[in-house]
Amino acid sequence: MRVLIVGAGIAGPTLAYWLWRAGHQPTIVEHAPRLRQGGYLVDFWGSGFDVADRMGIVPRLMAEGYRVHELREVSGNGRRISHLDPRKIIGGAGGRYVSIGRSDLAAAIYDALNGEVETIFGDTVQSLNDDGGRVRVEFARGVPREFDLVVGADGLHSRIRSLAFGPEQEFERYLGITVAAFEVDDYSPRDELVAVTHTEVGVQALRFSQRDGGTMFCFTFRYDGEVPVEDADAQQELLRARLGGVGWEVPAILQQMPGARSFYLDRASQIRMPTWWRGRVALIGDAVACPSLLAGQGSALAMVEAYVLAAELQRSGGNCPAAFAAYERQLAPLVSAKQDAAIGLGAAFAPRNRLQLLLRNAVLGLMGIPMVARLAMGRSLRDPIELPPPPAP
């Protein structure tokens, strides 16, 4: 089958890999001129780790990622309030976990294609015409083409979702929190393999030192206004205005922001779809079931969705409705449960008031006790899904 995959993030290249391995002809189209850089650090484990293992990329992820030694919460003057060793908590994953930059994970997946999959950068889909037997696609720049299937893997603001299912506002649930992440060079202080956070009412700042001399910063903050998704200058101005009164190192960090080597800002939202497919068009990853940063494991879930979709397309022998329905039936309950759990986690990233802040810090203190942490986290380290056998030609 000729399959157009829109988006070269995590879900799209994962799907392309397994379709290519099964003998299909995937084509990836990506609006950006190259693979995207930057973004935040993701904690990677569970079934997504199993998919990465089957792709043979785990050694690279372990080499490029980090095994964080400490999560440290500090006061406004930098005094340690609480801390915990995540290695003791995630020990239940049997060592099958790593913290890695989202763009580094995406690059490892894309490189696994070995140049065997057609990829078009700097273009996007203008229109879709699904006649029941094939999908005619018009591009913004390229010539029109026909495909057997189209899969939208183009993220929270998916164009394929808008074209095939309806406007974004019908499916997006904004959680009241905005996320920003950027990287700068030569920032001090440095705390190797330590994620340092400072939290005040309505905002959290995180600092993490990278091995190449850079430092990644991530901010989560409550914000009810319009978030400028496309305008980088307006995004940085929003950060200055919203975070200008925050203590700790935040004023110094904001001074470094104009020289950032990468920059990301967006709403922390979930996508809730009544169905994951329509005709010969399907959605995967954040385009169909974004759990938000608050849930964690969004990248791992995207890989699982791509893998299961490829497996079901192969199992169905090209019966697209049967494959799409089986894919959604297997994964929708898992994703919905993770989305529901995430809604209650906003207080951990950006407490609404002083009471929530105090309760949050008290819970963090308890999580520093390994037995308590393992009891609290043990369930989340195991995804209740059994992956099907790998798609084969």
Residue 201 placed within a domain? no
Give the range of the structural domain holding residue 58, as residue numbers without chain letter. 2-171+270-381
Q: Residue 238 in contact with residue 222, Cβ under 8 Å? A: no
What local confidence, expressed as pLDDT, does residue 371 receive?
57
Integer angstrom CA distances of residue 31 from 142, 281, 352, 362, 368: 12, 19, 36, 44, 43
Residue 287 placed within a domain? yes
Question: How many domains is the chain built from?
Answer: 1
Residue 183 placed within a domain? no
- Terminus-to-terminus CA distance in the chain, angstroms? 12
What local confidence, expressed as pLDDT, does residue 212 receive?
86
Taking the chain (393 residues) in runs of 10, the rounded mean pLDDT of each run is 97 97 96 88 88 96 92 92 79 75 94 96 97 96 96 96 96 93 94 94 95 93 88 93 94 95 92 96 95 81 96 91 96 90 84 90 72 54 77 77
What local confidence, expressed as pLDDT, does residue 88 receive?
73
Residue 122 placed within a domain? yes
Residue 20 placed within a domain? yes
The count of residues in the chain is 393
pLDDT tens for 206-248 read 999 998 899 999 999 999 988 888 888 999 999 999 998 999 9
Residue 242 placed within a domain? no
CATH number at residue 343: 3.50.50.60
pTM of the predicted protein model: 0.92
What local confidence, expressed as pLDDT, does residue 372 receive?
54
Residue 233 placed within a domain? no
